[in-house]
Structure 1
Amino acid sequence: MSSMVPPCQKAIEICNSDNNFIAKAACVTARVLCNPIIGVYSATGLNNYDIRKPCIGTLCYNFDALNAFMNREDVQSSLGAKRQVWQSCNMEVNLMFLMDWFKNFNYTVPTLLEDGVSVMIYAGEMDFICNWIGNKQWTTALNWPGKALFNAALDEPFRAPDGTVAGLFRTAAAASTSNLTFVQVYNAGHMVPMDQPASAFVMISNFLQGRPFN
């Protein structure tokens, strides 16, 4: 598995180097070289989105209740959406982003922060595919005016409504920016609101209302 990483990294590097034919070809090559790394894990039968569970079904999660809710006419009307069939994962739309899968869009975050838009990155600690380790690493590597403050900040606990520790967070802002916040959610996989709804509610409510997490 580790031997697959260097060719994958090189293809990603070229993919992000330009927007010419060679770079675009490297984006496709990256998919060919990098996806088998995930395949090694998937071959175990474990859930890509929660290392505690087996993968059952096409998406490893049961979205029946969500699909039923999102396909209700009153829900779609409340959201201002045109009446249509809602899918939790539309592969036709997914494939339209094929050339973007290995692009680095982190550069958009400093612009948001400098424009006064707060940013929160969160990850369930049991997620494999978008794990908290990688997410924390890119947030600490991000070049923005508050980088030194963010990297020096402590990871502090935030609590669920029942008082239990729901996870860890760190947050910081420079004088010229809004807050960047990283949250590691305990006992949750990729689908944090499904796994820990109360913790997710606290996390999202605090962020949207600008309240301190602690």
Structure 2
Amino acid sequence: MQMDWMRHLEVGIPALLEDGIRVLIYAGGAIEWFGRKDVVAAPTVLFKVDGEEAWQMKSHGPLTFFKEQLHDACHMVPVDQPKASLQMLQSWM
């Protein structure tokens, strides 16, 4: 994943969602697509790791959005918080 460092990929995501391809976004902003209002209105699910809140999840259709609440996690969440990021991926899959 070192080759994907800081590339802006948001422009292609709406087309993936419109084709029904499941997409996971974490620690990013809500993108513009036809289901955006439904994702914003979806209930928030809290995830804890070792008893501490780590993620807030919203999901609708093919889009799952995780907002991190992690401390000491920067742009490289899998490196900074490997246990929490693994739990996030496992719950999505």
TM-score normalised by length of structure 1: 0.36
Matched, 1:148 2:37: yes
Distance 1:105 1:199, change over 3 A: closer
* TM superposition outliers: structure 1 runs of 4+ over 6 Å: none
Question: 1:165 corresponds to which letter in structure 2?
Answer: E
CA RMSD of aligned residues (A): 2.4
In structure 1, C-alpha distance between the alignment counterparts of 2:38 and 2:88, rounded to whole Å? 21
Task: State the partner residue of 1:116.
Answer: 20
Higher relative contact order (CA 8 A, sep 6+): 2
Q: Which runs of 5+ in 2 are unaligned?
A: none
| Equivalent position amino acid for 2:84 in 1 | S
The structure in which a higher percent of residues are strand is: 2
Alpha-carbon spacing, 1:110–1:191, altered in 2? closer, same or farther (3 Å): same
Whichever of the two has the greater Rg, that structure is 1
Look up the match of 1:181: 64
Query: Is residue 2:84 matched to residue 1:195?
Result: no
**Does the 8 Å contact 1:106/1:142 carry over to 2?**
no
Q: How many residues align?
A: 88
Higher helix proportion, which one? 1
Letter in 2 for 1:148: K
The unaligned stretches of length 5 or more in structure 1 are 1-87, 95-100, 124-134, 210-214
Output the CA distance in 1 between the equivalents of 2:75 and 2:36: 26
